[in-house]
Amino acid sequence: MILTITMNPSVDISYPLAKFNINDINRVKDVRKTAGGKGLNVTRGIKYSGIDVLASGIVGGTTGEYIQKKLTENDIKYDFYITKQESRNCIAILHEGNQTEILESGPVLTEQDVIHFFNHYQTLLSQAKVITISGSLPQGFPVNFYVQLIEKANKNNIPVLLDSSGNMLHEVLISQNKPYLIKPNKSELQQILQVNIDEQNIDSLISAVNHPLLDNIAFVIVSLGKNGAFARCHGQYYRVTIPRINVVNPVGSGDVTLAGLAVGIHQNEPVEVMLKRAMTMGMLNTMESQTGFVNMQNYDGYFQQVVVQQVMDK
Ligand code: ADP
């Protein structure tokens, strides 16, 4: 089973409007509400791939109940720590080809919540073969909290796939407790390493993934949007190229890519297959209007078109 961790999930609300009237009333007919948060996109990607998955993290209040209701509707198993605070709403207003977002920062949690969640997490470890951790931490959690989750998983020999950024990722990279895999996109990697990466230049990519901050991480997968990915896997380098496709909504592609990587590791797939799977999942997500959804009927056709090429360091 794959355990996915989403520490600050949300009810994602989308309001499509022909015109967005500022300082006036806007009436919406086609409201869409989904269980949101990067880790829940990962969860759906794993579920669509037919692998047993359990979603965990923290929810609370009526919003938290709604998140669980939506997961139940999708037949997704979950076991959250329930806090007394209310989970957040995130609103996307889709208007005139634009997307205006209003994102609540979410509940401010207490030291007790930190302790209770950590205990809850420990009770789930015996079921997990692979763990994914995605997104940011709720307010009130220490910035190095992911280090603690990874340390516990490593002690239990469970590989952790981490998709986070900024301070939370930095804390992990400078710690002794390394995740098994990270999947930054190019701008996240540039920001964390404080370097410029030329994605057309193999030397630039190799030098980035060999940065000392990334030492002792078995898999570093740099996703490059329409240009596929570059990966360092157990000391070997791979350039992954993907076909040109019609993109409807790229939001959440990185999350669904992580789902593909988690499935590949869970199934002990060869690196080439795992990378092709991950890219195919990312592409399928970009072809759907709904964030974090994929149509698996198109999987085989796109999988065949992904090219994985091993490259050598000079
Ligand atoms: P993130 O969503 O984390 O920023 P990326 O934008 O790199 O991550 O996207 C992750 C993966 O999704 C890519 O490696 C690719 O497989 C797919 N993808 C994303 N954007 C596009 C695009 N414009 N065209 C084709 N595939 C895409």
Token pair 């692998």 in the structure block, residue = 51
pLDDT higher than 80, residue 172: yes
Mean pLDDT, range 44-48, rounded to an integer: 97
Mean pLDDT, range 40-67, rounded to an integer: 98
H-helix or E-strand spanning residue 87 = none
Q: What pTM does this model have?
A: 0.96
- The one-letter amino acid at 266: H
pLDDT higher than 90, residue 174: yes
Mean pLDDT, range 116-123, rounded to an integer: 98
C-alpha–C-alpha distance, residues 171 and 281, integer Å: 29
Q: What counts of helices (H) and strands (E) characterise the chain?
A: 10, 15
Burial 186-210 (b: 16+ CB within 10 A, else e): bebbeebbeeebebeebeebbebbe
C-beta neighbour count of 110 within 10 angstroms:
14
pLDDT higher than 80, residue 314: no
Compute the distance from residue 221 Cα to the ligand 1 centre, in Å. 12
What pLDDT, in 10s, does the model give residues 199-253?
999 999 999 999 999 999 999 999 999 999 999 999 999 999 999 999 998 999 9
Atom 6 of ligand 1, nearest CA residue: 225
pLDDT higher than 90, residue 291: no
Query: Best substitution site from 136, 221, 223 to test ligand 1's pocket, by max atoms within 8 Å of Cβ?
Result: 223
Cα distance from N-terminal residue to C-terminal residue, the chain = 40
Mean pLDDT, range 85-90, rounded to an integer: 97
Atom 8 of ligand 1, nearest CA residue: 254
C-alpha–C-alpha distance, residues 307 and 241, integer Å: 5
Q: Apex CA 127: angle with CA 126 and CA 131, to 5°?
A: 95
Q: Which of 110, 89, 131, 93 is closest to 258 using CA atoms?
A: 131
Task: Show the ligand 1 pocket: residues with CB < 6 angstroms.
Answer: 185, 223-226, 228-229, 242, 245, 247, 250, 253-254, 257, 279, 282-283, 286
pLDDT higher than 80, residue 276: yes
Reported confidence tier of residue 264, pLDDT bands at 50, 70, 90 = very high
pLDDT for 105 equals 94
H-helix or E-strand spanning residue 289 = none
Mean pLDDT, range 35-48, rounded to an integer: 97
Task: Tell me the percentage of the chain whose pLDDT exceeds 70.
Answer: 100
- Higher-pLDDT residue of 293 and 149 is 149
pLDDT for 99 equals 86
Please report the DSSP string for 94-152 in residue order: EETTEEEEEE----B--HHHHHHHHHHHHHHGGG-SEEEEESPPPBTS-TTHHHHHHHH
* 250 DSSP assignment: -
pLDDT higher than 80, residue 313: no
pLDDT higher than 80, residue 196: yes
Left (φ > 0), alpha (ψ -120 to 50) or beta: where does 178 sit?
beta
Reported confidence tier of residue 258, pLDDT bands at 50, 70, 90 = very high
Q: What domains does the chain contain, in order, with CATH numbers? A: 2-19+30-311 (3.40.1190.20)
Compute the distance from residue 196 Cα to the ligand 1 centre, in Å. 19
Compute the distance from residue 88 Cα to the ligand 1 centre, in Å. 26
Reported confidence tier of residue 269, pLDDT bands at 50, 70, 90 = very high
Which residues, 6 or more positions from 72, have their beta carbon under 8 angstroms from its beta carbon?
none
Compute the distance from residue 8 Cα to the ligand 1 centre, in Å. 23
Which residues, 6 or more positions from 301, have their beta carbon under 8 angstroms from its beta carbon?
none
Burial class (CB in 10 A: 0-12, 13-18, 19+), 19: exposed
pLDDT for 241 equals 98
pLDDT for 222 equals 98
Reported confidence tier of residue 312, pLDDT bands at 50, 70, 90 = confident
Is 209 in contact with 235 (CB distance < 8 Å)?
no
Please report the DSSP string for 14-49 in residue order: EEEESS--TTS----S--EEEEESHHHHHHHHHHHT
pLDDT higher than 80, residue 27: yes
Task: Tell me the percentage of the chain whose pLDDT exceeds 90.
Answer: 95
What pLDDT, in 10s, does the model give residues 120-162?
999 999 999 999 999 999 999 999 999 999 999 999 999 999 9
